[in-house]
Amino acid sequence: MRVGLLGAGRIGRIHAANIAAHKRAKLVAVADPDVASAQAVAGATGAAVKGADAILAAPDVDAIFICTPTDTHAQLIEGAAHADKAIFCEKPIDLDAARTRTCLEAVRNAGVRLMVGFNRRFDPSFASIRRRVAAGEIGSVELLTILSRDPAPPPVSYIARSGGLFRDMMIHDFDMARFLLGEEPAEVHAVASCLVDPQIAAAGDVDTAAVLLKTPSGKIAQISNSRRATYGYDQRIEVHGSLGLLAAGNQRATTVEHASVAGYGRDPALPFFLDRYADAYRLELDAFVAAVLDGAPGEPGGEDGLRALLLADAATESARTGHLVRLKS
């Protein structure tokens, strides 16, 4: 699978390195308005530096990785779809649901594969929970709890253009809730506060939030987010079912435990998403390669991207109005 990479920033470089090391993929070209970034990726992987249009048009490119700023995603997806390329796009497709729908329409019309970068589905522990839930190990799912906290807030400049905490950060958790509930949430309650940094409020956003979701059959999910956790990148999930519970927790740099008169101590949680989800990014690429080359399902796809966004929109509204928001199924 010959890949063209659009966007050589932080996440683009992760994908570039994984593609370069993959047995069935090859990075052939990279584009970025910041030429130095593009050249750095090219130098490390053997890819050529090109313009985005040239990459979309290149006959020796089978698949496009879109790792550019969010507001360019939808147009680039459409361009890649018209060029009949398979597409991997970082989340979200767009911050606007209507725009997302027209984009997905273009993808459907072109008949190309689109996969969306909800990397957490590929975390080995979370994926194991899903498989074990699906295998019936805990019976019927009843209560899902997702605790998701960033080590530190992003720059306020980023937050101002992010679409807000629910669309930028909790969207991952909405996808995970859908992934693990096995049923579409129909009701959304949200509360939110700005407790970490008043500049975030000044930028119109919140930094601490919690959501309740309920599905038509009565399954309940609770999600909480904070933009700051002193103890690392806190990523925990547990699913309570009729026969038991499955839970997955944080990872640490070492297994070392220290004991002293002050008690027992262990490492903080891995602090950075690139470390925490290093395996997930590799396995996500495996899934995309298998989708493109072998016809594997290629989930999460565009519809998953849309559904998560609709939940984020609903939560944004509920937090603002205090009302329950119902989603159409």
Q: Which of residues 111-140 bind a copy of itself (CB under 8 A)?
A: 124-125, 128-129, 132, 137-138, 140
CB of 105 to a copy of itself, least distance (A): 33
Using the rule CB under 8 A, is 210 a contact of a copy of itself?
yes
Quickly count: other Cβ atoms within 10 Å of residue 13's Cβ: 20
Choices 35-43, 61-69, 245-253, 305-313; region in contact with a copy of itself by CB under 8 A: 245-253
Closest CA to 89 of 104, 102, 108, 109: 104
Q: At what angle do helices 302-321 and 170-181 cross, to 10 degrees?
A: 120
Using the rule CB under 8 A, is 282 a contact of a copy of itself?
no
Q: CB-wise, 103 or 237, nearer to a copy of itself?
A: 237
Residue length of the chain: 329
Using the rule CB under 8 A, is 157 a contact of a copy of itself?
no
Using the rule CB under 8 A, is 303 a contact of a copy of itself?
no
Tell me which of 80, 219, 281, 305 binds a copy of itself, using CB under 8 A.
219
User: CA–CA separation, 118 vs 299, rounded Å?
Assistant: 9
Residues 159-188 that bind a copy of itself (CB under 8 A): 187
Residues 87-116 that bind a copy of itself (CB under 8 A): none
Total residues interacting with a copy of itself, rule: CB under 8 A: 72
SS3 324: coil
**Backbone Cα Rg of the chain:** 20
Spell 22-41 as b/e; 16+ CB within 10 A means b.
beebbbbbbbbeeeebbebb
CB of 80 to a copy of itself, least distance (A): 30
Using the rule CB under 8 A, is 147 a contact of a copy of itself?
yes
User: CA–CA separation, 190 vs 205, rounded Å?
Assistant: 14
Tell me which of 136, 231, 297, 320 binds a copy of itself, using CB under 8 A.
231
User: CA–CA separation, 129 vs 296, rounded Å?
Assistant: 21
Residues 16-35 that bind a copy of itself (CB under 8 A): 21
Using the rule CB under 8 A, is 220 a contact of a copy of itself?
yes
CB of 285 to a copy of itself, least distance (A): 16
N-term to C-term CA, the chain: 36
Using the rule CB under 8 A, is 323 a contact of a copy of itself?
yes
